[in-house]
Copies of this chain bind each other. A is one copy, B any other.
Amino acid sequence: MAGERATPLLKDELDIVIPTIRNLDFLEMWRPFFQPYHLIIVQDGDPSKTIKVPEGFDYELYNRNDINRILGPKASCISFKDSACRCFGYMVSKKKYIYTIDDDCFVAKDPSGKDINALEQHIKNLLSPSTPHFFNTLYDPYREGTDFVRGYPFSLRGGEPTAVSHGLWLNIPDYDAPTQLVKPRERNTRYVDLVMTIPKGTLFPMCGMNLAFNRDLIGPAMYFGLMGDGQPIGRYDDMWAGWCTKVICDHLNLGIKTGLPYIWHSKASNPFVNLKKEYKGIYWQEEIIPFFKSVTLPKECITVQDCYLELSKQVKAKLSSIDPYFTKLADAMVTWIEAWDELNPSGDASTKLANGAAK
């Protein structure tokens, strides 16, 4: 079958994290690509419900009871009734790489009609360097058939390690509720054959639907915040993680790529429900984004944990005036790092990065 390989890339170094509230029938379509890998399923909502996983997949599953048992009081930093709960899976993984995908994402086809092995493309993205310091007009210079163009400084052609690979979506685009309401019929049909690095100093809206990252390099920054049950906001979990991650990647000279691979996003979520979840985010982000644009991290911050804890202080100091929620969120950011370090004791990502071994 298309996409099957003799030895799947990074078979023992990558976990697939899936947040869900339903049976995982969607995995049938992904079987040729995902079956060799280990899955971490984070069950949201009612823990007494049984989630069915198709035969033949290797997985571990955590429901809310498991999260509470494993993290104890620190479980408060993990969201409930929101796909933000997925970041628990990042924390319990012991692998170097994570791929996370939503359960309404199917296999897309490339323009030749071939099934796209999204995971394979993410791995290619993560294993080749990024170019955050200067724009290459032919996009990713490490792809076959292309290179750095005239005028690209030679000293920058080594690139930087890639921490994040942000994939896109055919069919239903990732729009906010107002845009969904205004353009209910818009579909993304344009397959753009492109991978590129998001330049240093530029923020972007990171979507968690089809996302891979190097856990050793950036894992502790991939906190999806406090969303859903008991919180005044939803659908900003991945955005929050994206803003924090970008600022930290810029500080640590790590790269973030976006573009290929595409998945097929099957179903638009309800725009009325989304509007309710999003509306605070929509106006808060007008202040949050200038904050992240102006964040600077002191050079003493050399691990992701250092950076993240510093960021939590700045969030508390500068965003709490918007809403008391940000004080709570800043505290949860600290709790998240404590929980991360508890589950990932020394010898972990942060230590490796500090020693320069992660390059």
Q: Is the CB of A192 within 8 A of B190?
A: no
Q: A135-B203, A145-B188, A148-B179 are in contact. List 5 more A-B contacts (CB 8 A).
A: A145-B187, A146-B186, A150-B278, A151-B206, A199-B199
Question: What residues of chain B lie closer than 8 Å to A200, measured between beta carbons?
Answer: 202
Q: Is the CB of B150 within 8 A of A235?
A: yes
Q: How large is the interface on A (under 10, 10 to 19, 20 to 34, 35 or more residues)?
A: 35 or more
Q: Is the CB of A236 within 8 A of B151?
A: yes
Interface-forming stretch among A40-48, A152-160, A329-337?
A: A152-160
CB of A289 within 8 Å of the partner chain: yes
Q: Is the CB of B137 within 8 A of A168?
A: yes
CA distance A73 to B243 in the complex (A): 54
Question: What residues of chain B lie closer than 8 Å to A199, measured between beta carbons?
Answer: 198-199, 201-202
Q: Is the CB of A151 within 8 A of B239?
A: yes
CB of A139 within 8 Å of the partner chain: yes
Q: Is the CB of A176 within 8 A of B150?
A: yes
Q: Is the CB of B242 within 8 A of A147?
A: no
CA distance A136 to B147 in the complex (A): 24
Q: Is the CB of A137 within 8 A of B188?
A: no
Question: What residues of chain B lie closer than 8 Å to A207, measured between beta carbons?
Answer: 137, 149-151
CA distance A324 to B147 in the complex (A): 32
| A187, A204, A278: most-surrounded residue (chain B CB, <10 A) | A204
Q: Is the CB of A147 within 8 A of B204?
A: no
Checking B111, B194, B202, B236 against A202 with a beta-carbon cut-off of 8 angstroms, the contacting residue is B202
CB of A59 within 8 Å of the partner chain: no
How many chain copies does the complex carry? 2
Task: Assess A153 versus B190: contact at CB under 8 Å? Given A135-B203, A137-B207.
Answer: no
Checking B139, B145, B190, B202 against A146 with a beta-carbon cut-off of 8 angstroms, the contacting residue is B190
Q: Is the CB of B235 within 8 A of A179?
A: no
CA distance A138 to B150 in the complex (A): 27
Q: Is the CB of A134 within 8 A of B235?
A: no
Question: What residues of chain B lie closer than 8 Å to A286, measured between beta carbons?
Answer: 153-155
Q: Is the CB of B153 within 8 A of A289?
A: yes
Residue of B whose beta carbon sits closest to that of A175: B150
CA distance A203 to B153 in the complex (A): 11
Checking B136, B139, B147 against A183 with a beta-carbon cut-off of 8 angstroms, the contacting residue is B147
Tell me the smallest distance from the CB of A328 to a CB of chain B, in Å: 21
CB of A86 within 8 Å of the partner chain: no
CB of A166 within 8 Å of the partner chain: yes
Q: Which 5 A-B pairs have the closest CB atoms?
A: A151-B205, A135-B204, A199-B202, A150-B176, A151-B239
Checking B137, B151, B187 against A176 with a beta-carbon cut-off of 8 angstroms, the contacting residue is B151
CA distance A186 to B194 in the complex (A): 18
Q: Is the CB of B145 within 8 A of A190?
A: yes
Question: What residues of chain B lie closer than 8 Å to A187, measured between beta carbons?
Answer: 145
Identify which of residues 268-283 in chain A touch chain B, using a CB-to-CB cut-off of 8 Å.
278, 282
